[in-house]
Structure 1
Amino acid sequence: MTNNDVLRGMRYALALSTAALAEIFSLSGQMVAQDKIVNLLKKDEEEGVVVCPDALMEDFLSGLIIHRRGRQEGTPTRPPQAAEPLTNNAILKKIRIALILQEDDMLAILRQAGNPVSKSELSALFRKAGHKNYKECGDQFLRNFLKGLALHYRKAEPC
């Protein structure tokens, strides 16, 4: 799943406008013009699509955390970039933090999307890589989670 797919999914699930996305990016210290955001949100086959790099996706997720939870005192405006590439597990973890989702909330969202998982399966996704019970978050799992978020936050029919 590409960063552009995640950005589109989050925008739809939380009903964010282009201006709101620009504001979220700015909270992490990254100024992104609205016309660039429009190009980031285009489908892969559309003309003028811009690929969302990991660093920009990290800025969005960090901005989303600040937008939803507020800025912690003593933290820098622009968070340090991670040395390793952004994984689906890291994306899932940042979304969980931003939306203040507890384990039961996440299980309900996944159940709503038609992808029920056990508590142990879910906790394995949030373990440190290399832990014996660590499980990599696949594209389909993340896609189902975003679908469940849309159903949960929009109270709409299945996407």
Structure 2
Amino acid sequence: MTNNDILRRIRYIFDLSDSKMIGVFKSADHQVTRAQVSDWLKPEEDSEYKNCTDTQMAYFLNGFINERRGRREGDQAKPESTLNNNLIFKKLTIALNLKSDDVLETLELAGFKLGKHELSAFFRKPNNKHFRECKDQVLRNFLKGLQVRFPKEEQPVPKKTFEWKPLADK
């Protein structure tokens, strides 16, 4: 999965407008423009499509953590220069304050079964002998489960008000 795919899905799941997306970046002390956000969200076939770099995605995820959990005291987390699915998965679970049981339930909502030990292997350090690389399939199903877990609140339909006017006399 590309950073742009993940960005698009997160935007859709949490119903983030362009200005909210800019705010997420800003909460990680990074300035982006509406044009940049728009170019990252365009389909790959579009001529104005731009790749979202790992550093930009890391800024977004750090900002998402700040938005959802609150900004921590002191220095902010430095954005990683290279991201992988394991880091993205970890940052999303931190932002959403999900425990391992919550993550497993979320994966099950997408029809994907995973054991507790398999899940913990994704969050280990890469040099640990039990570390396991998070494949696109796992991350894709996690995002799909988040979509079920956090449904968009239905917007109230505005009531139409009709003003009664008598017919004009002829």
Same fold, judged at TM 0.5 (above) = yes
Kindly indicate whether the alpha-carbon contact (under 8 Å) linking 2:62 and 2:79 is maintained by their aligned counterparts in 1: no
Q: Which moved more, 1:29-38 or 1:60-69?
A: 29-38
Question: Could you tell me which residue of structure 1 aligns to residue 157 of structure 2?
Answer: none
Matched, 1:135 2:137: no
Question: Could you tell me which residue of structure 2 aligns to residue 17 of structure 1?
Answer: 17
CA RMSD of aligned residues (A): 1.4
Question: Structure 1 residue 155: deviation in Å?
Answer: 6.4
- Map residues 8-157 of structure 1 onto 2, 5 A cutoff: 8-76=8-76, 79-82=77-80, 85-154=82-151
Amino acid at match of 2:137: Q
Aligned length: 153
| Residues 155 and 24 of structure 1, relative CA distance in 2, 3 Å threshold | closer
Q: Provide the rounded CA distance (Å) in 2 between the counterparts of 1:93 and 1:12.
A: 20
Kindly indicate whether the alpha-carbon contact (under 8 Å) linking 2:122 and 2:132 is maintained by their aligned counterparts in 1: yes
Kindly indicate whether the alpha-carbon contact (under 8 Å) linking 2:15 and 2:152 is maintained by their aligned counterparts in 1: no
Cα-to-partner distance string for 1:13-58 (whole Å, 9 max, x where unaligned): 1111111100000111111111210110112122211100000000
Question: Structure 1 residue 119: deviation in Å?
Answer: 0.5
| Residues 46 and 53 of structure 1, relative CA distance in 2, 3 Å threshold | same
Amino acid at match of 2:105: A
In structure 2, the gaps of 5 or more residues are: 154-170
Matched, 1:7 2:7: yes
Question: Structure 1 residue 127: deviation in Å?
Answer: 0.7
* Structure with the largest fraction of helix: 1
Higher-Rg member (1/2): 2
Q: Provide the rounded CA distance (Å) in 2 between the counterparts of 1:108 and 1:129.
A: 25
TM-score, structure 2 normalization: 0.86
Aligned residues: percent identity?
44
Amino acid at match of 2:79: Q
Displacement over 4 Å in runs of 4+: none
Q: Provide the rounded CA distance (Å) in 1 between the counterparts of 2:80 and 2:6.
A: 18
